[in-house]
């Protein structure tokens, strides 16, 4: 059993004192924590471990995390599951599934470490210097200097072997190291982290321990230089990343096994291939609707011509922020008139617009939600003329007409307001299938409710703008899953977005850079449309067939917080899930 640290409030202390004064007959056993409290304790314990073992890629951190997950698995499995109420059973499955998924992620991390071991044999020796300091063990400065000197020499040999691997096959030394761009870029990040770690390690002793600087300063500086030189070689010469716009895009695909684990963690009973098929089906629907809009505009079935026309309808420089403001106010009135969802006054009041810098637009070419503000991408004076025109085309009036409700109300801003207030302990289980799926669900509903043309714009062009984004979400399923399965390169992903969806190349490149950069989970890009389809399927069950009011349904979804949607469905339906429950909802069939 894991030992949990429980915070005791002043009130609880006072109660305990009163019990002691009253006599043993008044003592009551402390009740077992409910699932909400248990989840909070798990989060607290995990934060303790993560903060102490915050030495990236260390064996000690992986071993301690693995032990922690094993202890929590045993704890959850030993609970009296039959005594849990329906809502607590949902929470039990959320935490049990999360712990299992974390274990799968740890296994992937170990596989990635093993891939880097041939050119990072000194990793553990350096990390042990910092971990020993955290364990408050005495530092032998002379021995530490020896470790640093040994690592310096080993890093030089590794660099020579990597250089040898770049030579033509006939000239390549026997000991040469051949690395892929993916593994080289990952390793460069580890090396930079080790060099940075040594600064923190030295700062603890330097100036306080008279011998420390005498022994270690020069060896440390030499070691850090060698680590950074090796990282530079891996990043720039092997991976080709030199900080230029024309740099190749290098991602780190997780493979079929990694996708299987992530789909299980997200409570989806589909294979990657089945999800790609759903993406292709939705993409085909969008193309057909695009052709209808083109015909309405007198362009036959040339939907790319219709898209080009929509892109040329832009706000003048300096007016995009005001346009977002007006569109948001209009959609709030649109929702209130139809009584579709609760919009608290503070939520409506407390948001703003921020403009994205030129650098930010390299990874965020479109609007995003940033927490009580909508970050807006648009042309600015620092961009080249070509980039200005691409930014204006990519953020035209008709694209922005649906992006605004996606990011603000009823999308992410409304969602974030309620997530901070309702079942906030479930934030641990936040999933893009709900976070992004909620915003996509509203794109679907606004399409059905006639949002196109509702603010005075051309209805056909507004539909083209709405369809562009819907097609984009379908494309994300296809390209992101194929990338992680090794079936599509970043360059092929860009071409798909440009040729099949109609993206500007600047925007497509920025999008793909974001998809594969490692800042998002591998399934994140799938979560938009697939999550929207899940919530739409729930609405069909509970509102269209079940007779629940639409407002009650939407408010109930917001009240569940951001959790895997099949488990949300069980909670909304009041199901008492069995302990051996597994996902089986075929929402996309």
Using one digit for the tens of pLDDT, what is the confidence trace for 439-475? Answer: 999 999 999 999 999 999 999 999 999 999 999 999 9
Q: Is the predicted pLDDT of residue 28 greater than 70, yes or no?
A: no
* Average pLDDT across the chain, whole number: 92
For 165, the token pair is 């691997």
Check: CB of residue 107 under 8 Å from CB of residue 51: no
Q: Which residues contact 397 (CB under 8 A, 6 or more apart)?
A: 313, 314, 315, 323, 457, 461, 465
Taking each helix axis from N to C terminus, what angle separates 141-165 and 210-232, rounded to the nearest 10 degrees? 10
Q: What angle do CA 282, 288, 291 make, to 5 degrees?
A: 140
Alpha carbon of residue 255 to chain centroid: 17
Task: Over range 547-575, report the average pLDDT.
Answer: 96
| pLDDT tens readout for residues 497-509 | 999 998 888 888 9
Task: Over range 544-560, report the average pLDDT.
Answer: 97
pTM over 0.85? The answer is: yes
| pLDDT tens readout for residues 257-302 | 999 999 999 999 999 999 999 999 999 999 999 999 999 999 999 9
Task: Over range 142-150, report the average pLDDT.
Answer: 98
| pLDDT tens readout for residues 487-538 | 999 999 999 999 999 888 888 898 898 888 777 889 999 999 999 999 999 9
Taking each helix axis from N to C terminus, what angle separates 397-407 and 459-484, rounded to the nearest 10 degrees? 70
Task: Over range 201-213, report the average pLDDT.
Answer: 95
Q: Is the predicted pLDDT of residue 245 greater than 80, yes or no?
A: no
Instruction: Work out the burial of residue 577: count CB atoms within 10 Å of its CB; fewer than 13 is exposed, 13-18 middle, 19 or more buried.
Output: middle
Q: Is the predicted pLDDT of residue 330 greater than 70, yes or no?
A: yes
C-alpha 511/C-alpha 493 separation (Å) is 10
- Return phi, psi of residue 537, to 5°: -65, -40
């Amino acid at each position: 059993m894991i030992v949990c640290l429980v915070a005791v409030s002043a009130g609880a202390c006072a109660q305990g004192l009163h019990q002691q004064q009253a006599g043993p007959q008044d003592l009551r056993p402390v009740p077992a924590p409910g699932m909400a409290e248990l989840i909070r304790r798990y989060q607290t314990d995990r934060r303790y471990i993560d903060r102490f073992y915050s030495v990236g890629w260390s064996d000690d951190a992986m071993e301690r995390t693995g032990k922690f997950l094993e202890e929590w698995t045993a704890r959850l499995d030993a609970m009296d599951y039959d005594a849990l109420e329906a809502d607590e059973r949902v929470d039990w499955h959320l935490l049990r599934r999360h712990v299992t998924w974390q274990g799968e992620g740890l296994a992937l991390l170990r596989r990635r470490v093993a891939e880097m071991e041939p050119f990072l044999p000194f990793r553990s020796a350096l990390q042990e210097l910092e971990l020993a300091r955290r364990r408050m063990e005495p530092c032998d400065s002379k021995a530490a200097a020896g470790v640093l000197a040994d690592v310096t020499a080993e890093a030089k040999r590794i660099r020579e072997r990597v250089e040898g691997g770049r030579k033509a096959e006939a000239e390549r030394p026997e000991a040469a190291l051949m690395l892929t761009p993916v593994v080289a870029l990952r390793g460069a990040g580890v090396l930079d982290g080790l060099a940075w770690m040594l600064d923190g390690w030295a700062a603890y002793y330097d100036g306080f321990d008279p011998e420390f600087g005498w022994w270690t300063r020069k060896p440390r500086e030499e070691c850090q230089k060698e680590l950074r030189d090796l990282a530079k070689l891996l990043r720039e010469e092997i991976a080709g990343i030199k900080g230029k716009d024309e740099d190749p895009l290098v991602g780190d695909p997780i493979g079929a096994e990694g996708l299987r684990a992530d789909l299980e963690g997200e409570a989806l009973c589909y294979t990657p291939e089945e999800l790609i098929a759903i993406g292709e089906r939705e993409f085909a629907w969008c193309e057909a609707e695009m052709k209808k809009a083109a015909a309405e505009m007198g362009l036959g079935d040339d939907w790319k011509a219709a898209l080009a026309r929509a892109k040329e309808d832009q706000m003048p420089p300096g007016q995009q922020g005001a346009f977002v403001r007006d569109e948001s106010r209009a959609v709030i009135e649109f929702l209130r008139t139809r009584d579709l969802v609760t919009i608290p006054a503070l939520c409506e009041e407390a948001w703003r617009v921020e403009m994205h810098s030129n650098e930010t637009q390299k990874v965020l070419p479109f609007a995003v939600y940033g927490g009580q503000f909508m970050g807006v991408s648009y042309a600015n004076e620092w961009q080249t003329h070509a980039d200005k025109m691409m930014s204006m085309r990519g953020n035209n009036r008709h694209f922005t007409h649906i992006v605004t409700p996606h990011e603000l109300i009823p999308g992410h801003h409304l969602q974030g307001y309620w997530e901070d207030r309702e079942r906030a302990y479930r934030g641990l289980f936040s999933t893009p299938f709900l976070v992004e799926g909620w915003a996509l669900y509203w794109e679907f509903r606004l399409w059905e409710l006639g949002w196109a043309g509702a603010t005075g714009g051309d209805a056909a062009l507004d539909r083209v703008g709405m369809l562009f984004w819907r097609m984009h979400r379908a494309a994300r399923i296809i390209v992101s899953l194929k990338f992680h399965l090794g079936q599509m390169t970043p360059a092929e992903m860009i071409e798909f977005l440009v040729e099949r969806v109609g993206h500007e190349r600047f925007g497509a490149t920025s999008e793909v850079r974001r998809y594969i950069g490692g800042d998002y989970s591998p399934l994140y890009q799938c979560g938009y449309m697939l999550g929207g389809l899940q919530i739409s399927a729930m609405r069909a069950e509970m509102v269209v067939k079940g007779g629940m009011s639409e407002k009650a349904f939407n408010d109930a979804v917001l009240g569940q917080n951001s959790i895997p949607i099949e488990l949300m469905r069980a909670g909304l339906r009041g199901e008492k899930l069995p302990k051996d429950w597994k996902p089986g909802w075929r929402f996309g069939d």
